């Protein structure tokens, strides 16, 4: 979410999921199709979207707009990192160095 915010400022969950899935080298036509639909057609997209929904609904590190309890799909929801989320990532990054 931090990369999405800093690089393009968009909030659609589908964009956040693309940023998360691309680095793990699992991108293919099935992933793209699942991102355009409800997300459940592909195991990777479904897992990442469930994690994103949990992050929005169960933590203070992310917020969102749309129904994250029973989402229709990533293209219908939006999410963004909160101040607390940025602080957590900064602490994690600083401890890794």
d(CA 6, CA 11) in angstroms, rounded, equals 11
Question: Tokens standing for 14?
Answer: 């589908």
Q: What is the pLDDT of residue 11?
A: 84
Instruction: Flag the least confident range among 11-15, 47-51, 69-73, 80-84.
Output: 69-73
Q: What is the pLDDT of residue 46?
A: 94
pLDDT tens across 4-61, in order? 766 666 688 999 999 899 999 998 999 999 998 888 889 999 999 999 999 999 999 9
Domain boundaries, the chain: 2-96
């Amino acid at each position: 979410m931090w990369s999405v915010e800093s690089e393009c400022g968009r909030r659609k969950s589908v964009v956040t999921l693309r940023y998360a899935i691309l680095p793990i080298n699992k991108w293919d036509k099935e992933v793209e199709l699942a991102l355009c639909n409800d997300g459940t057609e592909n195991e990777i997209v479904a897992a990442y979207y469930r994690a994103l929904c949990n992050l929005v609904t169960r933590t203070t590190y992310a917020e969102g707009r749309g129904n994250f309890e029973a989402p229709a799909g990533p293209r219908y929801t939006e999410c963004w990192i909160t101040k607390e989320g940025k602080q957590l990532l900064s602490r994690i990054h600083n401890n890794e160095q």
